[in-house]
Amino acid sequence: MTVTQLAEKLELKKLSNGEDKEVNSCYISDLLSRVLGGCSPNDVWITVQTSLNMVAVAVMADISFVILPEDVTAPVNVILKANDEGLPVYSSSKSAYELALLIGDLL
Amino acid sequence: MSQVLTQKYVVGADDFAAAGAASAAVKKTLKQLNFPVDFIRRASIAMYEGEINMVIHGGGGVASVEIYEDCVKIILTDKGPGIPDIEQAMQEGYSTATDSIRELGFGAGMGLPNIKKQSDDFEITSEVDKGTTLIITINSNS
Ligand SMILES: Nc1ncnc2c1ncn2[C@@H]1O[C@H](COP(=O)(O)OP(=O)(O)OP(=O)(O)O)[C@@H](O)[C@H]1O
Ligand SMILES: [Mg+2]
């Protein structure tokens, strides 16, 4: 399944545009080095981390896209950076747990 | 093992907004040179962890990247406070990061172990009050 297909099924709100990559699995953590060491390429990453470093980590680790749960918002400069890097960032009113359950069913 | 090119970047201290710029630039170059995606990912993660450590702990420094046909050698040098006990610093979970750094998502104590995991060869030398040097080698065929 691709980013846009999954985003539509999960009824996510789009914050930034990016590449419509394949999504293989899901990783959840807010500790950046945990993510760099633990995620897999083409994961969707669920995090409340909304700094510029979040974008950098997602790009370095070949994350397909980012979901900010529980209506977490990202600062404008972070959204602009995500657009620049071609990283799709979305938000959701659901919790990380609810999202993971749905993603588990869909992938 | 013929060398393709060398890149040099100055990495500023405590500049979290720009942190990772050198790693991002190297990732773009490796993509343009058509290296395998898995190799690029390993090099990117290892270099980013080292670059961030220079920003957070090392007072900034210099990243020198040598790209060869079949490998990349990343040399990160800072003149920061140094690491008193490298064995301890290499342990998963060990971190001296402050609360304000932790709020940014760093400080899991996983950076150095990640570099070791992603690299084919990893040398770290450090002297207290003098600085730290990392030499990270990643082969494209491993
Ligand atoms: N360049 C450096 N100069 C001085 N000390 C360093 C340097 N790099 C690492 N250290 C020390 O080694 C410790 C462990 O580094 P490591 O990268 O594994 O974890 P961290 O940076 O604290 O957290 P994380 O990387 O998970 O965000 C650091 O907390 C710091 O005390
Ligand atoms: Mg670190």
pLDDT tens digits, residue range B50-89? 999 999 999 999 999 999 999 999 999 999 999 999 999 9
pTM over 0.80: yes
Cβ–ligand 1 distance for B68 under 6 Å, the answer no
Q: What percent of chain A has pLDDT over 90?
A: 100
Whichever domain contains B57, its CATH number is 3.30.565.10
Look up the CATH architecture of domain A3-106.
3-Layer(aba) Sandwich (3.40)
Cβ–ligand 1 distance for B106 under 6 Å, the answer yes
Query: What whole-number distance in Å separates Cα of residue B100 and Cα of residue B115?
Result: 23
- Cross-sheet strand order for the sheet of B131-139: B3-11, B61-68, B71-78, B131-139, B121-127
Cβ–ligand 1 distance for B94 under 6 Å, the answer yes
**Mean pLDDT over residues A1-28, rounded?**
98
pLDDT in tens, A29-78: 999 999 999 999 999 999 999 999 999 999 999 999 999 999 999 999 99
Nearest to A19 by CA among A44, A36, A2: A2
Query: What whole-number distance in Å separates Cα of residue B2 and Cα of residue A79?
Result: 40
Q: Which residues on A lie below 8 Å from B24 (Cβ)?
A: 56, 59-60, 85
Distance A103 CA to ligand 1 centre (A): 34
Domain enclosing residue B10, as ranges: 3-139
Domain boundaries, chain A: 3-106
Q: Which two tokens stand for residue A1?
A: 């399944």
pLDDT at B19 over 90: no
- Name the closest residue on chain B to residue A51, using Cα atoms: B104
Containing B73, the helix (H) or strand (E) segment is strand B71-78
pLDDT at B111 over 70: yes
Does A56 sit within 8 Å of B20, measured CB to CB? yes
**Model confidence at A18, in pLDDT bands (50, 70, 90)?**
very high
**Model confidence at B142, in pLDDT bands (50, 70, 90)?**
low
In the prediction, which pLDDT does B1 show? 60
Does A56 sit within 8 Å of B19, measured CB to CB? yes
pLDDT at B90 over 90: yes
pLDDT at A84 over 80: yes
